Amino acid sequence: MEMMMFSITSIWIGFQVILFVLLLWLGWRYYDRRYKSDKPPMNDLYDGTLERTSEVFIDPKDGFRYRVYFNRRTGAREYVRED
């Protein structure tokens, strides 16, 4: 009986560790996509779709300076890092 209880406890703890690691990985992979985009907006910048705004800010997370570009047609905002 004692050996069976140890086995169930070990399985439960192992499950919790695996779940914790999975949640950490998911958080690292998908969290904080505030100013990141899947496609770089440079093509839209060159063809005139995006308009440069006067809004500039420094992201406290990475310390880089970003400028906001605005698409009047769709209302989309793009954040482009400036050097």
Q: How many CB atoms lie within 10 A of CB 55?
A: 12
pLDDT at 57: 93
Amino acid at 8: I
Cα–Cα distance, 19 to 25 (Å, whole number): 10
Cα–Cα distance, 37 to 44 (Å, whole number): 13
pLDDT at 3: 62
pLDDT at 21: 95
What percent of the chain stands above pLDDT 90? 22
